[in-house]
């Protein structure tokens, strides 16, 4: 009889505590569900998250270096601004990082849109970097932007022109471009055309 009384007393004592714990668990679950719904709604309104990439490009045919800005995400980017770890300058004295594209920034950039800015000839740029003691150094570019809901994002990208030094152009540019594109067409036949093949390098992101 005493055992039953003890059990009853313990149960009456623990019941409010267990009930309170149950309420807390339900509250956190509802909070997590509301947060998920909010994120899904924002993604829907924004059409997906934007990702603004800034990277270098190298053309084997012309040995030209360029800086490309493109939105590789699924939603439009707004209020885009740029910050450079050090000025990017061409061998003929043009400060590429000082152009309006980078100092003023962009009002918007739709998904898949890209802007390319010529930088320099690779050999001229490497000679310029060696003269200024910057050979092998990275240029870091931080880009900040927002989506349609106003959420802000940032990415930091590394640009290193020295990685293209010594790269050999393909012996058959047209065939090489076709192979890189994964073409499943008929057998390749030489056409004599010059097709540029480009590569790029980028790093780090945050939000």
The band of 36, judged by pLDDT with boundaries at 50, 70 and 90, is confident
Q: Mean pLDDT lowest for which of 115-124, 170-179, 193-202?
A: 193-202
Q: Give mean pLDDT, residues 66-85.
A: 96
Integer CA distances (angstroms), 143 to 17, 82, 112, 200, in order: 51, 5, 17, 17
Q: Is the predicted pLDDT of residue 119 greater than 50, yes or no?
A: yes
* Stronger pLDDT, 20 or 4, i.e. the higher one: 20
pLDDT at site 35: 76
Average pLDDT over residues 150-158: 94
- Predicted local distance difference test score (pLDDT) of residue 109: 96
* Per-domain boundaries in the chain: 1-46, 52-168+200-206
* Residue 105: strand, helix, or coil: coil
Tens-digit pLDDT profile for residues 15-31? 676 666 667 777 677 77
Mean pLDDT across the stretch 150-179? 82
Asked whether the predicted pLDDT for residue 64 surpasses 80, the reply is yes
pLDDT at 68 over 90: yes
Residues 101, 74 contacting (CB under 8 angstroms): no
Consecutive H or E run containing 6: helix 2-46
Assess whether pLDDT exceeds 90 at residue 101. yes
8 Å CB contact between 170 and 197: yes
Pick the more confident residue, 184 or 77.
77
Mean pLDDT over the full length of the chain: 79
What confidence tier does 193 reach under pLDDT thresholds 50, 70, 90? very low
Mean of pLDDT values over 178-183: 59
């Amino acid at each position: 009889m005493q055992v039953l009384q003890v059990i009853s007393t313990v149960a009456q004592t623990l019941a409010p505590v267990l009930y309170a714990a149950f309420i807390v668990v339900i509250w956190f679950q509802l909070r997590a569900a509301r947060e998920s719904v909010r994120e899904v709604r924002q993604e829907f309104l924004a059409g997906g998250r934007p990702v603004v990439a800034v990277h270098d490009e190298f053309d084997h045919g012309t040995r030209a270096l360029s800086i490309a800005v493109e939105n590789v995400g699924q939603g439009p980017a707004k209020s885009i601004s740029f910050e450079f770890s050090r000025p990017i300058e061409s061998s003929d004295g043009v400060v590429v990082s000082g152009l309006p594209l980078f100092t003023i920034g962009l009002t918007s950039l739709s998904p898949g849109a890209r802007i390319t800015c010529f930088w320099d000839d690779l050999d001229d740029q490497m000679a310029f970097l060696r003269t200024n003691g910057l050979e092998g150094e990275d240029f870091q570019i931080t880009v900040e932007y927002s989506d349609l809901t106003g959420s802000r994002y940032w990415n930091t990208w590394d640009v290193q022109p020295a990685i293209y030094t010594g790269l050999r152009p393909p012996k058959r540019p047209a065939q090489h471009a076709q192979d890189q594109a994964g073409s499943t067409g008929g057998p390749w036949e030489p056409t004599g055309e010059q097709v540029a093949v480009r590569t790029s390098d980028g790093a780090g992101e945050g939000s």
